C-alpha cells in the first residue's frame, strides 16, 4: 500500500486505520510522529557526516590508536594482523573493538 505525502506539514494519508494528519484523533498519530522524529534525527546525523580523504582517515585512525592505547596506528595494525588482540576482541574490550571498526580508514 502506497503512502502519499500531502502538502501541509508532512501530512500523511493512507487507507482505513492508516496514517492521518496529526491534528486528527486517529490511533496511528503516534506512529506518524515517530516517523517524523526519525526523519529529523536522520537529517541531523546526515548534517554531521564529514567525508575524509585517505590521508585524513589514516591520521584519524592513528590519533584514535594513540588516544585509546598509546600506540601508533601502524603498530596497532601490526599487532592486529599478528593476532595479538584476538582475546581482547573476543571478550569485547571496548578500546580494541572500537579501533577494529576504524581499520578501514587505515587501509
pLDDT for 15-33, tens place per residue?
555 555 555 545 555 666 6
Q: What is the dihedral of CA 95, 57, 81, 100, to 10 degrees?
A: 30
Write down the pLDDT at residue 30. 62
pTM exceeding the 0.75 threshold for the entire prediction: no
| Span between the terminal Cα atoms of the chain, in Å | 44
CB burial readout 5-41, b (16+ within 10 A) else e: eeeeeebbeeeeeebbeeeeebeebeebeeeeeeeee
**In the predicted model, is pLDDT for residue 58 greater than 50?**
yes
Range picked from 10-24, 44-58, 66-80, 88-102 for highest mean pLDDT: 66-80
The residue ranges of every structural domain in the chain are 4-48, 54-106
Write down the pLDDT at residue 102. 93
Amino acid at each position: 500500500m502506497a503512502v502519499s505525502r500531502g502538502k501541509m506539514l508532512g501530512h500523511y494519508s493512507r487507507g482505513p486505520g492508516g496514517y492521518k494528519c496529526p491534528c486528527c484523533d486517529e490511533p496511528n498519530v503516534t506512529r506518524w510522529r515517530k516517523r517524523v522524529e526519525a526523519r529529523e534525527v536522520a537529517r541531523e546525523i546526515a548534517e554531521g557526516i564529514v567525508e575524509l580523504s585517505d590521508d585524513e582517515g589514516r591520521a584519524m585512525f592513528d590519533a584514535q590508536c594513540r588516544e585509546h592505547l598509546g600506540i601508533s596506528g601502524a603498530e596497532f595494525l601490526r599487532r592486529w594482523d599478528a593476532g595479538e588482540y584476538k582475546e581482547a576482541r573476543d571478550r569485547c574490550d571496548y578500546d580494541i573493538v572500537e579501533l577494529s571498526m576504524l581499520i578501514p580508514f587505515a587501509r
